Structure 1
Amino acid sequence: MWKVISSKMFWLYAVAVFAVLAIFSFAQIGARNSVELKQLPIAVVNASGNQQSKKIISQLEDKFSDSDAQLKLIEVKKESSLKQGFNDKKYYGAFVIDKDFDKSLTSQQDYLKGLVIQAKTKDVPEQALAANAQLKTQVEAAKTMTQTLPTQAKIRVITNQGMSAQASSAVTTALPKIANALSQGMSQKMQGVLKENNVTLSSNQWQIINEPVKVTTQVKNKIPNKSVSGMAPMLLVMLSWMSALIGSILLWREHKKRAENGLFTLSTINSQMITGIVLAIVASLSIYFFAHTVFGVPVPDAGNFILILMFNVFVFYLIQTCILDWTGFIGWPLVVLIMLFSMGVISYPKEMLSPLYLNGIYSWTPLRFTMDMYTNGLYINGTSSTMTTDLTVLGCVGLGALVLIYLSSLLKRKEK
């Protein structure tokens, strides 16, 4: 036992274990532990556009003006623009002030004023009222103001759930909290006025004073049930990468055995490409079968989504085959590391990542574009402009890997 412990190889193994654990910890624990809600784009729609609602928008903008603020408010003129904005993943949510918001607040203020006048004049004799024209006018106006209960001002909070399950959860908590705080502030002011003037209220009247602003929530691009709590896109990315990883190493070894002197010819590389295409088809159909048919993950457009799977699996195959053709089996750990580092960051919105993980991993990993495509295919109920960008970037990456695969054979044969 002591001979093993005192040997150099034992300590080399110990260092290797430490290095592997350090890499895993940095890639998985570090990425998740450094996540912070910051600068999430939120659309703000002021459908009322009058003085009081403008003041509220101004206060919100001041509240989130710092670069470290949790939310980044983006003014949108028309609510009709939100749908495409959600589909294009411009906004994680929206704060919508109803068109009758200012009208409702004005009616509440008038009602409150009427109650105060009635409380102050309830003990004034009728003869005194008749003798004072101004006071009589005020009493009559107060009666008119309090004839009907005022309506609650309305604010709607909309979350773009399909864009990101993590961000949606944060937005669902943050935005209603802001709106409710606004309502509570107004309620406290009104209650202070009522208490100061000894005004008593009925239960119906109290409901309006206690909750002057009614906050409702809506969900757009809703994540359906059986979507693994919104993690389905990330898990499909992992399955796609793993299927390409296993397929590329097995096909590379098979072609290496059959290659003359271990050198790939043009015919060998052509065979790699053809078998890679077949692999992508088989892997994609298998992923779809297990995810959708066996485990019930909802897929809105099966045909289109299978094509997306095939495209991404084949691009991953090209990337991994390129590394293997250039470096041999020694490059296999690099392929594993790409997935390991990527999976720790792609499940979070880029706005929630620390600069280290955002610039050090998220900025270069091709898996984030696949994650975006799968999210579009599963959750975004409409055409997303980001799909074109994803296809273009991954297509260029795949084309670059394809060129390098053919160059590796030509250069190595020339060196030989």
Structure 2
Amino acid sequence: MFKHKLVFISPIIILAVITLFSLTMIPSVSPSPKELPIALVNEDTGVSLPDQSQVNMGKQMIERVQSQSVPGKVAPVKWISVDSLAKAQKGMKDKDYYAAFVIPKSFSENQLSLQTPKPMSPEIQLYINQGMNSLAANAAGQILDGIVEGVNEGVRTQLLSSLSAGDAKLTVEQAAMIVEPIHKKVVNVNQIGTKSANGNAPVSLFQPVWMASIGGAVLVFFALQKSFLTGRKQKSAGISAAIGIGAIMALLAGFWTTWFANSVIGLAIPNFSDTALFISLAYFTYFLLISAVLSWLGMKGIPIFVLTLFFGLPLLAMPKEFMSSFYQDWVNPWLPMRPMIDGLRDLLFFGKGFEWSHSVEALTFIAIGSLLVLCGSILKKDRRLPEQPIG
């Protein structure tokens, strides 16, 4: 046994495999947000003081929040000023913002009333865009909670100091307001619901589709190999048949995956037919992509897609703002599975249907490019020798 070289190189192979697959953990180790886009909305109309001056405490708070960024350091939040709540809500629907920090119209009036016998609690509204990404939404919620708590602490201290300086007695209403002078109202938009695998349903649906597309492409590839097609005419017919079989498998995979996820696993699927058709498109795209690589590289191309899955999977559930600059700029944009994940988020959490969108466009262009490469393999010279007749 010890005469075989494989015995001596097997430890090196094992260490190489462990190292290779351990590298897949790098993106998910201690991820932290960097420049999460959050909308800042100030609808506060302000108040007029007895000396005829105007005070807008909402504007002051917005300026205080924006000034917290440290020059030279990457901030966890990228504050974006938005004119109105309606525009912020549209931006969250379009997946521009992970959250919105909104100051209502009566904020200044209610905050000034805190020093009166009949105080009215000012309110800050926090809109959390759950469907965009649960990890980022939770991080945005925690950041906004911390900001409101900091504002409350400052207002509480100021209120107590003002009341002490005036030697005033607290009313029951004022005492109740001291604990939380500014009320926080949290509104979840594009909600993920309770049957979404904690917002990871798109990734959960992707994995079986990706593996099935690899399996389907390999089976069709072997069938073409065993057919021993020669000449451009036969190869064209074989590839046409393979594409047709792939389209049939895509429809079966799309509707079966959607039915199984909804009826057996229990995932919430708002629109069954649109989701099934989108998954069918994704399967067909990946089938063509894998078939195109197999047509030129043979089974040597399969490790490409296996490694793509292992290296890409940790990134699929992670917002780009949590990635390092390398993964954000050079890995994430080139993952062929990203359009499927984004498209499923639109279908499952944003109430969209199977329509022409960025995700459908990306999958379509990948499919067209793969189809051209697959058809180009017709021109490739066949190195196999034809079978010799017996006798």
- TM-score norm. by structure 2 comes to 0.90
With a CA cutoff of 8 Å and minimum separation of 6, indicate the structure with the bigger relative contact order: 1
Secondary structure of 2:365's aligned partner = helix
Greater mean alpha carbon deviation, residues 100-109 or residues 197-206: 197-206
C-alpha RMSD over aligned residues: 2.2
Q: Which residue number in structure 2 is paired with residue 373 of structure 1? A: 343
**CA contact under 8 A between 1:35 and 1:353: conserved in structure 2?**
yes
**CA contact under 8 A between 1:64 and 1:73: conserved in structure 2?**
no
Task: Structure 2 unaligned segments of length 5 or more: list them.
Answer: 47-55, 386-391
Structure 1 pair 332–233 and aligned structure 2 pair: CA distance change class (3 A):
same
Residue 198 of structure 1, CA deviation: 4.1
Q: Which residue number in structure 1 is paired with residue 122 of structure 2? A: 153
Count of paired positions: 374
**CA contact under 8 A between 1:34 and 1:354: conserved in structure 2?**
no
Q: Which residue number in structure 2 is paired with residue 40 of structure 1? A: 36
Output one character per residue of 1:83-120: Cα deviation in whole Å (capped at 9) or x when no partner.
321121001000010110011122224x2xxxxxxxxx
Matched residues in 2 for 1:295 and 1:253: separation?
32
Q: Which residue number in structure 2 is paired with residue 17 of structure 1? A: 14
Q: Does 1:398 align with 2:367?
A: yes
Residue 201 of structure 1, CA deviation: 2.0
**CA contact under 8 A between 1:34 and 1:353: conserved in structure 2?**
no
**Which letter does structure 2 place at the counterpart of 1:42?**
I
Secondary structure of 1:218's aligned partner = strand
Secondary structure of 2:80's aligned partner = strand
**Which letter does structure 1 place at the counterpart of 2:225?**
K
Residue 184 of structure 1, CA deviation: 1.4
Q: Which of 291, 316, 323 does residue 293 from structure 2 map onto?
A: 323
Matched residues in 2 for 1:184 and 1:102: separation?
17
Matched residues in 2 for 1:409 and 1:203: separation?
85
Residue 265 of structure 1, CA deviation: 0.5
**CA contact under 8 A between 1:87 and 1:381: conserved in structure 2?**
no
Q: Which is helix-richer, 1 or 2?
A: 1
Q: Which of 80, 87, 90 does residue 74 from structure 1 map onto?
A: 80
Matched residues in 2 for 1:204 and 1:262: separation?
90
Q: Which residue number in structure 2 is paired with residue 54 of structure 1? A: 59
Q: Does 1:210 align with 2:179?
A: yes
Output one character per residue of 1:155-180: Cα deviation in whole Å (capped at 9) or x when no partner.
01010001101111111211122112
Q: Which residue number in structure 1 is paired with residue 27 of structure 2? A: 31
Matched residues in 1 for 2:230 and 2:28: separation?
47
Q: Which residue number in structure 1 is paired with residue 50 of structure 2? A: none
Q: Does 1:63 align with 2:68?
A: yes
Residue 413 of structure 1, CA deviation: 5.0
**Which letter does structure 2 place at the counterpart of 1:289?**
W
Q: Which residue number in structure 2 is paired with residue 125 of structure 1? A: none
Matched residues in 1 for 2:276 and 2:63: separation?
47
**Which letter does structure 1 place at the counterpart of 2:173?**
N
Structure 1 pair 382–104 and aligned structure 2 pair: CA distance change class (3 A):
farther
Matched residues in 2 for 1:340 and 1:262: separation?
38
**Which letter does structure 2 place at the counterpart of 1:213?**
I
Secondary structure of 2:316's aligned partner = coil
Q: Percent identity?
A: 26
Q: Which of 237, 260, 278 does residue 267 from structure 1 map onto?
A: 237
**CA contact under 8 A between 1:162 and 1:222: conserved in structure 2?**
yes
**CA contact under 8 A between 1:184 and 1:210: conserved in structure 2?**
no
Matched residues in 1 for 2:121 and 2:364: separation?
53
- TM-score norm. by structure 1 comes to 0.85
Greater mean alpha carbon deviation, residues 254-263 or residues 289-298: 254-263
Structure 1 pair 383–276 and aligned structure 2 pair: CA distance change class (3 A):
closer
**CA contact under 8 A between 2:274 and 2:354: conserved in structure 1?**
no
Q: Which residue number in structure 1 is paired with residue 358 of structure 2? A: 389
Q: Which residue number in structure 2 is paired with residue 186 of structure 1? A: 155
Secondary structure of 1:265's aligned partner = helix
Output one character per residue of 1:308-365: Cα deviation in whole Å (capped at 9) or x when no partner.
0000000000111011111001111111111221111111111111112223321211
**CA contact under 8 A between 2:101 and 2:124: conserved in structure 1?**
yes
Task: Structure 1 unaligned segments of length 5 or more: list them.
Answer: 112-145
**Which letter does structure 2 place at the counterpart of 1:71?**
V
Residue 37 of structure 1, CA deviation: 0.9
Q: Which residue number in structure 1 is paired with residue 141 of structure 2? A: 172
Secondary structure of 1:363's aligned partner = helix
Q: Which residue number in structure 1 is paired with residue 324 of structure 2? A: 354
Structure with larger Rg: 1
Secondary structure of 2:101's aligned partner = strand
Structure 1 pair 373–271 and aligned structure 2 pair: CA distance change class (3 A):
same
Structure 1 pair 304–384 and aligned structure 2 pair: CA distance change class (3 A):
closer
Q: Which of 207, 230, 250 does residue 238 from structure 1 map onto?
A: 207
Residue 64 of structure 1, CA deviation: 3.3
